[in-house]
Structure 1
Amino acid sequence: MRAPINVLITQLVLLLVFVSFINAFLPGIPDNYYEEGNTVKIKTRKLSSTHNLAFDFYSMPYCKPKEIKNNVENLGEYLLGDRIHNSVYSVEFKKDVICKRLTSISSCDGKADSCVETECPSQITSDDIKNLKEKIDEDYLAQLVVDQLPFANLQGYTSCGNPPPSKEEILNQEKSTKYYRPDGYPVGCKEKIQSADGTVGFNYYLNNHFTFVLYYHVRKNGKQVIVGAEVYPTSIEHTESSCTGDKPLPDDFDRLVIDDNLKNVQYSYSIIWKESSIAWGSRFDAYVNTEENPDDYRIHWFSIINSLLIVFFLTGMVGMIMLRILRKDINLYNEKDEEDPGDETGWKLVHGDVFRTPKNSTLLALSAGAGMQVLGCLVVSLLLALVGFISPESRGSLPTVILVLFAFMGIINGYTTLRLYKMFQGKSWKTVSLLAALAFPAIPLFLFTFVNFLVWVSVHSTSALPFLSLLEIFGLWLAISVPLVVVGAFFGNRSSEIEVPVKTLQIPRQIPVQPIYMHPVISVLMGGVLPFGSVFIQSYFILSSIWLHQYYYLFGFLFVVFLILVVTSAEISVVFAYFQLCNEDYRWWWRSFLSSGSSALYLFLYSAFYYFTSLEIDTFMMTVLYFGYCSILCYFFFVLTGAVGFFCSLWFVKTIYGSIKVD
């Protein structure tokens, strides 16, 4: 009884440590209540573009606080390229600001609590002008947040020349139920011009006035919460009389041109508060409902459902065929005269070799154990997302949870690897446990570190993880994952050896010439088609959420697709293992892993197709970042699908050979 009690105590301790780790890495989003006059903090996030890497908000010639404070709350925000800082915008709850210029403030002594010590650029340099034009050419967006809500652009609103909306217009319009750009406002805009001699050029304009519209909701108990944030950027060349005192911006104004004559930029902002009926729990709906055309939105859903039905049909059909064939074969073999073994054909002939230890058995055990670690991480992550623990509103929560879970699932890796290693008659369990702890995670981790280093050294982008955050990831690996892998390996080594139903002969059986469709390369490539087909559509949405800065929230569909992926990977490996054994080829071990694992190759090819057809990336470092991260994703996908296919094939082979009479 001592061993089960020790296992139970270990599991309870790990559960407590995991819960405390999640709480430390993933703060919640409590309701923030405000009273009139309370200071509301607007924060900066980053400058982002779908064409290039992300940069710090204050890398532009903007006014900034005298003391910039880092407000990043979890590791996932760093992974997303976010750098949350305090801003210069002074906001009081339910206090409108008609128009206020931003100026340098050396000290806030004796002033209101909302005062911010500010430093504004005294002069715009030629490098600043070049930087501004490059950011406009690459469609950069400036991201601001308030009370965990991003400031969003309204659909159909142009920022190139339109005057900002008046307070009357805002109060008379309904709050948008969907946002055109939920990830920020454009740095500026450009317009094509043609000179008298036919030369084509561009005029660049900088957005330097921002109208912030903040929505609040009053609950039945009288408490007030912020439920919406919108920004209307405008380019305006301020005059001495514009934006002074209680005067709003004039209806007629010149835009601020970015050229060599630009020496100084005057920034300004307005604040409009508006009551809303939207409740706290629904305040993020407008950010995830960002499809421009509802018909296109429905088409996406119908195509997903159609793909799922096709996959369900194929897997059901293959399952019924396999069930009929196997039932007939097993009954036929068991009814044969035991004294006439010469009549045996097909998969029964290789019963003395089917469990022969494969080549590179240690590598196979390590790969299968790593795949089970990924499987456990994804199952728990998706379940947490389904119950609402992971929300798009909690910025960075998903990558944080995945990282922490992956570290804790190392115990599954160690246990599974050692069980297989013992079945392969391995003797050096300590060496293998260290390999399981160090070798598999090291491959994606060092690739990530290499890409991260290149991005940081080349362009100092926020897409590169800071050094201390990188140390946190290495800490998760070395301080949590490695010990847990060793613990799992210890229990796996103490467990009984996996039993096989038939004995292995000393002399290997000669393998006959195989048909062309059972050639290793052909069968492996064929095996990956169906598993990839089950995730094809969801791959588009996931890639879009990462590289087009869209919010992914279809966790229900994702979980269903994940289950279908697991079933499809298992079934396709079983089918190819059966065909291989029917052709008297007993080398099914690696083939069962690679048949389903090859779907990762198709996923990588699709990510390359997505890069050339859906993205407009025009910089080398962004390309390196994209394919580096996609390679890591496909690596995890490979060991996941390969392990699922391998273990189901192992169960299948044990089952059929345990159901027949063998001398």
Structure 2
Amino acid sequence: MAIAWALRPRRWALWLLLLVSCARAFYIPGYSIKSYRDEEPIPLLVNKIFSDHTQLQYAYFDLPFVCPPSGEKHGGSPFGSGQSVSLNLGEVLRGDRIMTSDFELLMGKDVQCQALCTQEVGRQDVKRARQLIKQGYVAEWIADNLPGATSFVTVDRSRKYYATGFKLGYQDFSPADGKPRYFINNHFTIVIRWRKAPGKAGDDGGKAVVGFEVYPKSIAASEHESKGCPKNPHDDHLGLELNLPFDMAKLREKYPSSSYIPEEDDDLDDGATLKIPYTYSVFFQEENNVEWSNRWDLYFSNQEEGSMTHWLAILNSLTISGVLGVTVLVIWSRTVQGDIKGRGDGAMEDGKLKRSSRTKLPNKEGLLDQSAADVERDGDLSSDDEAGEDMTGWKLLHGDVFRVPAYSGLLAPLVGSGMQLLFMAAGLLLLSCLGVLNPSFRGGFVSVGMGLFVFAGLFSGYFSGRLYKTFGGVNWRKNTIITALFFPGLTFCLVFILNLFVWAQASSTAIPFGTLVGLLALWLLIQVPLVYVGSWFGFVRATAWEHPTKTNSIPRQIPPQPWYLRDTYGAVLTGLVPFAVLFIELLFVFKNLWQDKSGYYYVFGFLSVVCTILIVTVSEVTIIATYSQLCAENYHWWWHSFLTGGSSAFWVFAYCIWYHFFKLHVTGFVSSLFFFSYSFLACAVYGLLTGTVGFLTAYAFVRRMYRYVDLKKPYPPTYLPFLALEPLLTSTVRSKWTDVD
């Protein structure tokens, strides 16, 4: 026995070493360095083209005017050019279409000029190229997992930064007639920046890529020599204009009776073609000022310049959130002290309120007589004929505050779906702040988010099932089906319908049919069973949430409500406060999503802080709104708290509309439809998430508040500010009720 105990620490040591060895084998994207030896091939992959002026993207090799893949193998690769690279779910959904190319890059070997191909295009292809250049499309290539970039320097030339992609061409104007002319970039100067690889690989001669730059240029076909390359590609040359004049002789032969003189953009086919020679140069430059771990920093220079604005956003959020608390504390310091000293006007025994006198209850027709008021009061508050003191405000609702709300069968699934989204959002922010989700993990944010959403079906089913049980529901399987199919089903239908429009444009933004089938299988075969398991635990195994007071059989009559406490007006107005917390950070999120689609949002630390303050603000606003409603003797707080929490989504969508018309300048019906559809979906997700936060906060607050409805017991300090609002709100409601009568 003693020997066994002596060997146990060694066993634990062996297990620890095994875990360490496994940890070394674990790959976190962005932290595994790829080193290259001299003349070792560096694969260059082509991806897609995109524009800031439209939401439609296209695969690079789908363009009719670029060099098609030859299918040849380069650098010992087992795959020929044109081979599709396996993509994760996030890459497919963001429109990536990555393929191998015919470019040959050998580490450390400069190439002055290398002919790629000469592409012969017709009139329709020329027209297509002109249209894409006019819309500002840029191409994205990838080398060593770095996107090819166009480099820029600041005005004072003190800093350098990258913009992902390079332009397909450029637009100029004719000096003679002022008409626009379009030139295509057909020569590419590729600059690979490298440094000695860290660690043992660097000692063995390995080099790490720390920069990938592409400098496009337009060179006329007449400037090229017989071998396909211009004499000196880096000198000034005439540009290759996308201009294909009509052959009038052929048109006269084809249309002998026509005297029409065609324009450049006409669709007449006269068989004319334009030859576009493509060439490239490769240069390697040593760069010791950039560490491999910091090689993405140049892509984020513009975002770092806005760090002051991020801090202002956080300061704005803290100010708004703090004002809510300070305002309540100021009211409490002036009024609540006297309210506490005068307490003792009632007590609870077994969920029934004792009263010492009977008071009249007004209704919409007028004041009831004394005996009728006594009967209604006794029926509402207690079956006993005991005496008690006069009660006002939220204390009168102790027998109705937990009455099951209308459409509770819909509220429970919505809250469950909100918890699912809340878990997904928290997981994404946490992994992003830890650096697991970084730009080198292309498409990782969407892929991991989809995985977290599917796994969070357990939470969705649990909270939905338990809340459904609390509402007194019995058919939990029906509730499970609604929870599992309602929100994901509506989302899938919207995406599918929108995808039909994008498919018609032959855009890579369209989700492939196979991916749609995979998403459908992921939803029905994995998420739905997880929701079922969670719902079974929430309804069958877990107990319903207990309420501190009993519900009367006869509901109370609700007095007329002030306009600011009505569901529509109140919810819309209260949504302004959370929106004010969020709107500054929305500038950066929208710019990244809709304008700089090649950029990478990388300030998740700021975003996490703003989101945390947002959740606190939503909780504060919902508690204050719920307490105001209860003081107005309105016990329909269930849906009101949910709408109050999610009402800021209305203002976010209004901001999307403003952003579309004044910032984006997007052209085309499909692009606008794409923008508004996905904006609506994002706002629905945001509203569902914040609405769930508001509902759960209000539910916890109301349950805890009515635990202390026995006024002889001291209130916790956290509830004193809300008690301060009661005399003000109650007097307002009573005065309005008297005016109505």
> For 1:228 and 1:392, how far apart are their aligned partners in 2?
14
Which of 456, 462, 469 is the equivalent residue of 2:508?
462
Give matches, 1:318-467, under 5 Å: 318=327, 320=329, 332-334=342-344, 336=346, 338-340=354-356, 341-456=388-503, 458-467=504-513
CA contact (8 A) 1:535 1:565 kept: yes
Equivalent in the alignment of 1:602: 651
CA contact (8 A) 2:558 2:633 kept: yes
Equivalent in the alignment of 2:665: 616
- Does structure 1 residue 59 correspond to structure 2 residue 59? no
Alignment size in residue pairs: 600
Q: Give unmatched runs, 5+ long, in structure 2.
A: 1-24, 72-81, 246-272, 348-353, 357-387, 713-741
CA contact (8 A) 1:215 1:273 kept: yes
CA contact (8 A) 1:372 1:416 kept: yes
The code of the aligned residue for 1:489 comes to S
> For 1:476 and 1:329, how far apart are their aligned partners in 2?
57
Shift in CA distance, 498/391, structure 1 to aligned 2, threshold 3 Å: same
Give matches, 1:488-567, under 5 Å: 488-493=534-539, 494-548=541-595, 549=597, 550-567=599-616
Equivalent in the alignment of 2:524: 478
- The higher radius of gyration belongs to 2
SS state of the match for residue 640, structure 1? helix
TM-fit CA distance, 1:551:
1.6
> For 2:70 and 2:528, how far apart are their aligned partners in 1?
43
Which of 309, 317, 332 is the equivalent residue of 1:308?
317
Equivalent in the alignment of 1:269: 280
Give matches, 1:9-408, under 5 Å: 30-52=32-54, 53-60=56-63, 61-67=65-71, 68-103=82-117, 121=119, 123-155=120-152, 177-179=160-162, 181-182=163-164, 184-195=165-176, 199-220=177-198, 221=200, 222=202, 223-238=206-221, 239-241=223-225, 248-249=232-233, 251-261=235-245, 263-277=274-288, 278-290=290-302, 294=305, 297-318=306-327, 320=329, 332-334=342-344, 336=346, 338-340=354-356, 341-408=388-455
Shift in CA distance, 551/28, structure 1 to aligned 2, threshold 3 Å: closer
CA contact (8 A) 1:70 1:86 kept: yes
TM-fit CA distance, 1:208:
0.4
Shift in CA distance, 361/500, structure 1 to aligned 2, threshold 3 Å: same
> For 1:55 and 1:260, how far apart are their aligned partners in 2?
24
> For 2:327 and 2:449, how far apart are their aligned partners in 1?
33
SS state of the match for residue 353, structure 1? coil
1:246-290: CA deviation from partner (whole Å, max 9, x where unpaired): 953262421111101561000000000011112211011001113
CA contact (8 A) 1:25 1:400 kept: no
Equivalent in the alignment of 2:78: none
Shift in CA distance, 74/632, structure 1 to aligned 2, threshold 3 Å: same
Higher mean Cα deviation, 246-255 or 555-564?
246-255
CA contact (8 A) 1:99 1:244 kept: no
> For 1:27 and 1:249, how far apart are their aligned partners in 2?
37
CA contact (8 A) 2:188 2:215 kept: yes
The code of the aligned residue for 2:188 comes to F
Equivalent in the alignment of 1:169: none
The code of the aligned residue for 2:36 comes to Y
The code of the aligned residue for 2:38 comes to E
The code of the aligned residue for 1:232 comes to Y
User: TM-score, length-normalised on structure 2?
Assistant: 0.77
Shift in CA distance, 240/546, structure 1 to aligned 2, threshold 3 Å: closer
> For 1:150 and 1:427, how far apart are their aligned partners in 2?
55
TM-fit CA distance, 1:144:
0.6
Shift in CA distance, 26/518, structure 1 to aligned 2, threshold 3 Å: same
User: TM-score, length-normalised on structure 1?
Assistant: 0.86
Shift in CA distance, 332/462, structure 1 to aligned 2, threshold 3 Å: farther
> For 2:520 and 2:331, how far apart are their aligned partners in 1?
46
SS state of the match for residue 472, structure 2? coil
SS state of the match for residue 92, structure 1? coil
Shift in CA distance, 321/64, structure 1 to aligned 2, threshold 3 Å: farther
1:88-109: CA deviation from partner (whole Å, max 9, x where unpaired): 2111111100011113xxxxxx
1:231-253: CA deviation from partner (whole Å, max 9, x where unpaired): 11100114343876895326242
Shift in CA distance, 462/29, structure 1 to aligned 2, threshold 3 Å: farther
> For 1:307 and 1:468, how far apart are their aligned partners in 2?
45
> For 2:284 and 2:401, how far apart are their aligned partners in 1?
73
CA contact (8 A) 2:345 2:391 kept: no
SS state of the match for residue 400, structure 1? helix
CA contact (8 A) 2:459 2:534 kept: yes
SS state of the match for residue 499, structure 2? helix
Higher mean Cα deviation, 573-582 or 282-291?
282-291
CA contact (8 A) 1:243 1:249 kept: no
